[in-house]
A and B are shown apart, each in its own frame.
Chain A
Amino acid sequence: MRLLATRRHGHVRFEEVHQIAMLERPLESSGELVYEAPDHLEERTLAPRVETLVLDHGVLTARRGSRTTTLPLREYPQVAPFVESIRATLAGDRAALERLFRVRFTGDLAHWTLRLTPADSTLARAVKDIRIEGAREAIRTVEIRQNDGDRSVLTIGPEIPP
């Protein structure tokens, strides 16, 4: 955790796959993730369609085309785990993680796994658990499993040089 917290800035590629029962096939997307310690996280989806999600000081802003949606996380607590799990892990913010989840750490520094289970009953209704795998100060994958069987896997690729 402390190792993660030393990281101030990150700019990486990602790929994400969502498996949703209602849909005939998984939704796939890819783009770039930008992180500025401690509470600015940006997910720029480039394919299949351009979309930007910005988490800044607890407010999630989504831009699609000309439309902007703003979600203050405190008003939508059920959305929080989806973004807070990544942000707090990146920030090495153990306290924030433990506010939302029960945290279990396994493995060693070279290959570790964090398993997060929602601490709060309202969160637990939607999210079953979150598995974050990484090596040293880098996160490799984030897998979110929902109670209805839907799940998403975010795979983090190589660092994009500035």
Chain B
Amino acid sequence: MRRTAGAATLIWVLLVLVGVVVVARATYVADLSAFLPRTPSPQQRLLIEQLREGPAAHLMIVALQGADARTRARASTQLARLLASDPAFVAVNNGDAARLARDREFLFRHRYLLSADVTRQRFTAEGLRAAISDSLDRLASPEGLLVKPLFARDPTGELLGIIDSLGPGQAPHTTEGVWSSPDGTRALLLVQTRAAGSDTDAQQAACEAIRRAFAAVVAALPEGQDGAVRLLMSGPPVFAVAARAIIKSEVVRLSSLSAALIVVLLLAVYRSLPALLLTLVPVASGALAGVACVAAGFGAVHGITLGFGITLIGEAVDYSIYLFIQAAADFRHLVWPTIRLGVLTSVCGFAALLPSAFPGLAQLGLYSIAGLIAAALVTRFVLPAWRQRVHSIRDLTAAGAAVARVLERAASARAVLVLVPVLAATALYAHRGALWSRELASLNPVSLADQALDERLRAEAGAPEVRYLAIASGPDREAALAAAQALSERLAALVESGVIGGFESPARFLPPLATQSARRDALPAAPELRARLTTALSGLPVRAAVFAPFIDDVEAARQAPPLTPADLAGTSLGAALDALLVKGSGGWSALLPVSATSGDLSSAAIAQLRAAVAADPAAHAAVLDLKGEADRLYSGYLSAALRLALAGFAAIVLLLVIALRSLSRMLRVVLPLALSVLAVVGLLAAAGRPLTILHVVGLLLIVAVGSNYALFFDRTRAQPHAGSVPRTLASLLVANLATVVAFGVLAVSRVAVLADLGSTVAPGALLALLFSAMLAGSALRPGAARG
């Protein structure tokens, strides 16, 4: 006996050392990858690429509020200047006139390569006459002021045509010369980071660079105004950083809170420091084993797993509580077999999570299995040897007897339990329309207030969330641009027929070389153009001599080299090109965000869009519905979680039938658990909380964790004269409180997924104990106690 204990301790010490090494060398991540599927479908792969690297993943909205408009404008200009010189940012736009002028200047200089109207037909005498007549109409309209300075150089109105094709102005309002919210109370800047959305470290550095630049700008403001300006930031890079920070801080905060509460609970119960310390040994060993196994099995440990793992504290502590509170003599033969079966049922429950495509859940499964097994084994083989040195644990027989009396009174009212399924069914029926949350957003660790701010700033900045993307790809940049150009023509037809509202395309400001040379070839040589112009102008109120600058510009365009990405540098079109033309692992992709005429695209419109995009199979184009795909991903997780939870439940039932060798004993164990699940679902529905994937997992855990209590009652009933009922009850109550504390702490988390899990399991575990006791019948009677 002593020798086995010594050997067990030695093995334990060795394993702890191995665990410490593995845990110390493990990688920890806290980005959104915890929520992305492990083995994505092709559509999901596109979605993930967009979430990680897409244009939206680089875009930050920065707002300045407080002080007066002039001060904000000044701060905006200086902030933009500071950030523009920082290589962490591809583009910084605050709507100042200089940038607008640069963009116009670029479009004007290259108008004959950029305008889709440049064709051979347009430069015939008839074509020129029609285009110039249009410009004359414009001259005589309020737009005349815009057209007049350009008329002699651009009589065919190419610049206005290009500006029109780039889409209706969605630019924000302007106050004091810089972008502002419509009410003028906030200055707005759009900032594009160089780093991809998935590079959280770089995004964090970018966020810090903005804060630093802002602090410098504020410090340089005149006395009296410096304190009044405030900085607001939003957008996916900010969210990625915030999500990581919040997960990190929540894991630290909640695990310390949970540990502190359990320590207080155990100290109050044991009144013995050594017993407390020994109780924590299996917990710490379990946590170590869990993290080490996840690190070894998944390569990287998600922060969210550690958050979920807080629950292990509450569960693993139970085993040593049973060891210390129940009579020492009973442990090996009475208590341990029950614990063993309890661990096995819990393992069944968590094992059901292992196949989940949602990495956070799969990691939670592995973490908990490893942790529980380790904690149980340490309790069984390592702790008993040390237990003898702890003499002064309070005898809880009296307290247990009191608990038994209370529970017995409750048990006499067990007929009330019939109401549980009735009430739960009523609540579920009443809320049947809004029972499930079907949006991926329900997993979002970012607070609702931050999401609301993002929505508001987006609306103010005219940067709506892109939902539909047409993607054209090719082996190189030129091929992707050519595919985008071909796709643009088909999408233009959809705009024309009102199916879609509009679209953007990188080919508009960087046309593929073939298109550029076709346009250049459409331009006639100077003498020819002069002759055609003379014919075109007959009868129009303008002389050909006015257009000498036009003839010079066309001739210059005929000689100019083709446009390259370098020509766009420093303009907002260059920033747009960076966002919409991206190099991926397998080549280049051109992204064409598609917008609806109003609101969302109808399903008929989506079908037409998909058909148009798929019309040319050689073009390698696809449509991606970002929100739809994300929600499909989530509902996939949800239905998988439901299936897995049912499988886990079935496995637990099967295990109980085998272990207890009796259908009726199994039913007696399962009935109170099923009732607690029903009660919790009913409560959640009645509280108007739509069920998320973590609630489903929580329900499974109610069964997995609650079975431990039910099994003890089953044992006391099966062997009425073995062990002390009051001490068993006392240990169950303490163990239950520890579990409820751990999950209850999660329930107050600011991270939605943690809160969902905690708010399901904490009441569920409590009810599982209560219902098990109420249904235990004669097993509770103190008369059955041996003393």
Contact = CB atoms under 8 A, between A and B. Distances in A.
Interface of A: 16, 18, 20, 22-27, 29, 49, 51, 53, 60, 62, 64-65, 67, 69-72, 74-76, 78-79, 82-83, 126, 146, 150, 152
B164 A69 contact: yes
B546 A27 contact: no
A126 B149 CA distance: 11
Contacts of A27: 136, 139-140, 541
Given A27-B139, A69-B143, 15 more contacts: A18-B140, A20-B140, A23-B542, A26-B541, A27-B541, A51-B141, A53-B142, A62-B141, A64-B134, A65-B134, A70-B169, A72-B171, A74-B173, A75-B171, A75-B174
A23 B139 CA distance: 10
A74 B541 CA distance: 32
B141 A22 contact: no
Nearest to B163: A69
Contacts of A22: 148, 151-152, 542, 546
Interface residues on B, range: 20 to 34
B322 to A, nearest CB: 72
Contacts of B164: 67, 69-70
A82 B164 CA distance: 21
Contact of A49 (B137, B144, B151): B137
Interface in B610-633: none
A150 B138 CA distance: 15
Contacts of B168: 70
A20 B141 CA distance: 12
A82 B542 CA distance: 24
30 contacts: A18-B139, A18-B144, A22-B148, A22-B152, A22-B546, A24-B542, A27-B140, A29-B140, A49-B133, A49-B137, A60-B142, A64-B134, A64-B137, A65-B134, A67-B134, A69-B143, A70-B164, A70-B168, A71-B169, A72-B171, A74-B173, A75-B171, A76-B146, A78-B145, A79-B142, A79-B145, A79-B146, A82-B145, A146-B145, A152-B140
Interface string B529-558: 000000000000111001000000000000
Contacts of A69: 143, 160, 164
Contacts of B148: 20, 22, 150
Nearest to A76: B146
Nearest to B170: A72
Nearest to A23: B541
Nearest to A148: B148
Among A16, A23, A79, A83: residue with most chain B CB under 10 A: A23
A108 B169 CA distance: 43
Contact of B143 (A24, A67, A79, A152): A79
Contacts of A62: 138, 141, 143
B143 A71 contact: yes
Contacts of B542: 22-24
Contacts of B144: 18, 20, 82
Counting from the closest, the 5 A-B pairs by CB-CB distance are A82-B142, A27-B140, A18-B140, A23-B541, A25-B541
Contacts of B134: 64-65, 67
A51 B148 CA distance: 19
Contacts of B546: 22
B137 A51 contact: yes
A42 B164 CA distance: 21
B146 A78 contact: yes
Contacts of B541: 23-27
Nearest to A73: B142
Interface string B190-207: 000000000000000000
Contacts of A53: 141-142
A23 B537 CA distance: 12
Contacts of B137: 49, 51, 64
Nearest to A126: B145
Nearest to B134: A64
B174 A74 contact: yes
Contact of B169 (A49, A75, A126): A75
B713 to A, nearest CB: 72
B217 to A, nearest CB: 26
Interface in B444-495: none
A64 B133 CA distance: 11
A65 to B, nearest CB: 8
Contacts of A82: 142, 144-145
A123 B136 CA distance: 22
A92 B148 CA distance: 31
B359 to A, nearest CB: 46
A14 to B, nearest CB: 13
B143 to A, nearest CB: 6
Nearest to A80: B142
A67 B496 CA distance: 11
A96 B144 CA distance: 22
